Amino acid sequence: MDEIPVIIKNFVYENIKVYPGSSLVLHLLINSQIPENLLFRPILDDWLVDNGQVISISSSISPSYLYLVQGSQFSQKIIISLPSILQIGQKVKSWLRFPAIQEEAIPIQLEIVLPETEKNQNQVVEVSLPVTLPFSSRDGDLFSNALDKSTAGMFGLMSGLIDLDKIPSRWLVAEILASLSKKGEEYAQTEPGTQLLNQIRPTSFFQNGVIAFASAQIPNWIGDNIKSENTILGGQSLLAIWEKWLLNLVPAEQEPLEKKRETSVPGFLAEKFVAKLGGSADRWFAGILLGLAQISPLIAKKLQDIASKEATLDSDAWQRIPLSDRTTEATKSLLAVIPGLDTLPARWLVIELLLLLCQEGDKYRRTQAGSELLTQLSNTRFYQNGVLAFAAAEAPRWLVITQEAASAYQNSVGGDKNQGGWLTLASHWLWSLGATEFDEGQPNRDFSVSAEAVDALKASLGMDAERWFSCLVLGLALVLPRIATTWDAIASSIGVASILPTPSQQTIVKDVFCEAGSLQR
């Protein structure tokens, strides 16, 4: 097995001799020294022939993703299939890049040679490529740009936003449903949770939901996706990765507090929870409803109103009820939506969740409690690191572009702008399970944002990274009590004078689709 000598500072590389139609296998031996847990996927540029021609050569990466942890070593294989049209004596060059992790790239140059025998025509050339991230200078010292919390936060956010285009929505949906169900199971052990479950379980609303879940095999679908995600991400979960990024913004002087915090359920624990519930549609649907009731008082009140309006049935009656038209439609809706989660990237769902959190955070900011919390947080390094990361990654621009792209896609397939996205669809599906339409004629937007509200939010926040980050932080505090406790603990710590400049004027949101250049800029 050959080995490429890599000296990143001087970009030294050597020719790798390959044959037309052969395959090149790059064995990446990755050692991560980045003080940040990252979802990792390298990319290869198009290849440049020595005559100036640019060609695209197919390649595959196995495993597709790696979850890098500081101090650990990983291996990844890139298989490059060389076309037979390459001429003997030609040299082709590409660059192996690590988006949002490392600015420099590793140059790789291939020399096309004549096979010695016919047997060598389809030879597989294997090359070992050790990579330490971040790249080291000649004296072995790590570049200083990966040592502080603010820069690590920037790298993590940039990498995370790029990764959202590679991750299927089904993983995130399965995680959210499993997290809600786990929260609901815990809530069911309390007196208020038991009381609400006993009220809602006999209703036709609940029975229709259970039958739809069972008919569409939602419990098995959740379990399969949690297992698939767990395998590829090495026991991690998307929610846990993003929460760790957020909490890692806390500076070193607050690390004792940081270590005590509980993060989202990692993948391997989620898989155990899925195995515990098994294929019970009743337990899954009940857990999700109670989980929603925990994070939204409005949803809790709606569930109580449904229970008070519908006639009470005995505990086993739902098993004897035939499939109604409403149940059949609910099942068909689930079966129609699931395939779409396989094709659309997580970016489309994440933007809806972020907009919802930011909208609620913006409302909370206008209250006395929210204003006081934000004033305290704004003087901490945690808050400033987050704002700097948002600004460096151009998160506001990403939010606006993604939302407008999602809206444009919806219009292209014949959807109505006011119809809403995935969250609106989920809200309509849930409340349509009742015997009669709940609040008939009123838009069901308990966990979604209307198009008008989105436009108003974008106009209000503009491209102000601090405003967006503050709304996200406050929105998370409203949804997750343990996050609110963490923010209170950070805010009560000793703050520092703000290093962030105050914008002199409101930034106006432009129509980014009328600008020249790539959407990735």
pLDDT by residue (tens digit) across 333-369?
888 888 888 878 888 889 889 999 999 999 999 999 8
pLDDT, tens digit (0-9, with 9 covering 90-100), for 41-95: 888 888 888 887 888 888 888 888 888 887 888 889 999 988 888 888 888 888 8
The reported pLDDT for the residue numbered 6 is: 36
The secondary element (H helix, E strand) that includes residue 109 is: strand 102-112
> Helices in 322-438 by DSSP H: which ranges?
325-343, 346-365, 368-377, 381-392, 395-412, 422-431
Average pLDDT of the residues in 466-487: 89
Distance between CA 303 and CA 297 in Å, rounded? 10
- From the CA atom positions of the chain, what is the Rg in Å? 26
Amino acid at 379: N
Residue with tokens 């196995």: 62
Query: pLDDT confidence of 468, banded at 50, 70, 90?
Result: very high
SS3 81: strand
Distance between CA 282 and CA 197 in Å, rounded? 11
Cis ω before 63 (30° cut-off from 0): yes
- Measured torsion, CA atoms of residues 461, 246, 100, 179, in degrees rounded to the nearest 10: -100
- Which of 132-141, 296-305, 470-479 has the highest mean predicted lDDT (pLDDT)? 470-479
The answer to whether the beta carbons of residues 363 and 357 sit under 8 Å apart is no
List, in order of start, the domains of the chain with CATH numbers: 13-134 (2.60.40.10), 153-252+268-313+324-493 (no CATH)
What is the sign, positive or negative, of the torsion defined by CA atoms of 417, 423, 427, 433?
positive
Q: CB neighbours of 97 closer than 8 A, spacing ≥ 6?
A: 42, 43, 44, 45, 105
Query: pLDDT confidence of 117, banded at 50, 70, 90?
Result: low
Average pLDDT of the residues in 437-462: 68
pLDDT, tens digit (0-9, with 9 covering 90-100), for 385-401: 899 889 888 899 998 88
**Residue 67 main-chain phi, psi, to 5 deg:** -105, 105
pLDDT, tens digit (0-9, with 9 covering 90-100), for 451-463: 788 888 889 999 9
Q: Which residue has the higher pLDDT, 515 or 465?
A: 465
517: how many CB neighbours lie within 10 A of its CB? 7
Average pLDDT score over the chain: 76
pLDDT, tens digit (0-9, with 9 covering 90-100), for 174-189: 999 998 999 899 999 9
Percent pLDDT > 90 in the chain is 13
